[in-house]
Amino acid sequence: MSTAAPYGADLRREGEALSGALPPLLVAAEHLAQSVLPGAHGRRRAGPGAEFWQFRPLGPGEGVARIDWRRSGRGDELYLRETEWQAARAVTLWVDGGAAMSFTSTRERETKVARARLLAMALALVLLRGGERVGLAEASLAPRAGRAQAGLLAAALAEEAEQGAEHGAIDLHASPSGGHVVIFSDFLGDLSQIEGALALAAARSMRGILVQILDPAEEAFPYDGRTRFESMSGHLSYETLRAGDLRTAYLARLAARKDHVQAMARQSGWHTTTLHTDRPAAEGLLWLYQALGEARRR
């Protein structure tokens, strides 16, 4: 009895914390997921699945149990009923939880990480509804199908990630090979990690999408006057007397950065997109869903 009480208290506290953070993300993601029609993806060939694919004459050595008697009753030949092969693939999501992602230029707008988590969760919901296996890029949340996985994912996403580093570290070692990966980040940090992840993914025949989430202020650089810029974690700082003068240089560097990301993705056969936090989230979700379908079909 002596250990049961603290354990029970722990559990309850965790449960409360979870249910506190869960519903908003889950509800918002559900709402967003409604905008995408779910459905399993036919592999356009016979295999295990629910959809009818074709009738085929019974070959030698095949089990009697597979005979479709209703079709066979219409003629002399025996037919088998084949369904379309519906393969559920593993999709691994990774959201950059670094401090840089918690930036927003105005208080009304959601932060980049919030948008990224929302998109990731909504995408997960759509995929789960379609029977896919969805997981996160960590060993404890390997891709799994089913409604229960949605709750686990939401809990994991809603958890405040470590804020210490400017950008999170991606680790795809736990992801199943041959699956898909969706990476949400602003790609403003060190790109060598991403490159490493892409190399690993290519080695394990994983495909995927790089989703760059940016705040409009990062695209426009609307600053002027004497300014001391600090990174979100406060580790880096940069001071200028006329921020306005730096705008063109900054924009050029940003464009170069985007090109670099795209080039990286193209090399590995990945898709990339840039989403902004001032645009509706549904737009991004639809694009993601289609792009994912495309990637899978190939």
Partner 1 sequence: MSMLGFTTPVLLWALLALPILWWLLRAVPPAPVRRRFPGIALLLGLRDRDPESQRTPWWLLLLRVAALAALILALAGPVLNPSRALPGQGNLLIVLDASWASARDWPRRLERVSQALDGAQRAGRPVAVVALTDPPQGAIEFRAAEHWRERLTGLTPRPWSPDTAMPDWVGTVPDGTETLWLSDGLARDGRNALLSALSDLGPVQIYQPDTPVIALAPPSFDGQDVTVAARRTQGPPLALTLLAIGRDPAGAERDLARADLVFDPGAQSAEALFDLPPELRNRITRFQIEGARGAGAVTLTDDSLRRRKVALLTVREGNESLALLSPLHYLRQALEPSADLVESSSLDDLLLTGPDVIVLADMPAMTEAETQDLTDWVEAGGLLLRFAGPRMAGAGASASGFGAPQEDPLLPVPLRAGGRTVGGAMSWGDPRSLAPFPEDSPFAGLPVPEDVGIRAQVLAQPGPDLASHTIAALADGTPLVTRAARGSGQVVLFHVTANAEWSNLPISGLFVSMLERLAISTRGAVPEAGELEGTHWQPEEELDGLGLLQSTANRPAVPGEDLAPVLAGERAPGPDLPPGLYAGTALRLAVNATDAQTPLTPAQWPLGTNLETGVERPEVPLGGYLFAAAAAVLMLDALATLALGGRLLRAAMLLLALGLSVPRAEAQPVDTRILEATESVVLAAVTSGNPQVDDVALAGLRGLSLALYQRSSVEPALPMAVDVETDELSIFPFLYWPVTAESPLPSAEANDRLNRYLRSGGMILFDTRDADQARLTGGMTSAGRRLQQIAAGLDIPPLEPLPEDHVLTRTFYLLADYPGRWQGGTVWVEAAPPDAQRAEGMPFRNLNDGVTPVVIGSNDWASAWAVDEQGTPLLQVGRGSTGERQREMALRFGVNLIMHVLSGNYKSDQVHVPALLERLGQ
Q: Name the site residues for partner 1 (rule: CB under 8 A).
A: 100-101, 103, 112, 166, 186, 188-190, 215, 217-218, 221, 223-232, 236-246, 249-250, 253-254, 257
With respect to partner 1, which residue has the nearer C-beta, 250 or 287?
250
Helix residue spans in the chain (DSSP H): 4-33, 69-72, 112-129, 147-158, 192-203, 216-220, 247-268, 281-297
- For the record, the structure tokens of 17 come out as 């914390």
The contacts of residue 288 (CB under 8 Å, 6+ apart) are 119, 123, 182, 209, 211, 273
With respect to partner 1, which residue has the nearer C-beta, 73 or 225?
225
Minimum CB separation of residue 226 from partner 1 in Å reads: 4
Question: Which residues lie across from 208 on neighbouring strands?
Answer: 181
The SS3 assignment for 222 reads coil
Report which residue type is found at 296: R
With respect to partner 1, which residue has the nearer C-beta, 3 or 237?
237
Minimum CB separation of residue 27 from partner 1 in Å reads: 28
Instruction: Residue 97: name the closest of 118, 110, 114 by CA.
Output: 114
- For the record, the structure tokens of 282 come out as 């549904």
Minimum CB separation of residue 257 from partner 1 in Å reads: 7
With respect to partner 1, which residue has the nearer C-beta, 77 or 230?
230
Minimum CB separation of residue 97 from partner 1 in Å reads: 13
Minimum CB separation of residue 21 from partner 1 in Å reads: 23
With respect to partner 1, which residue has the nearer C-beta, 118 or 188?
188
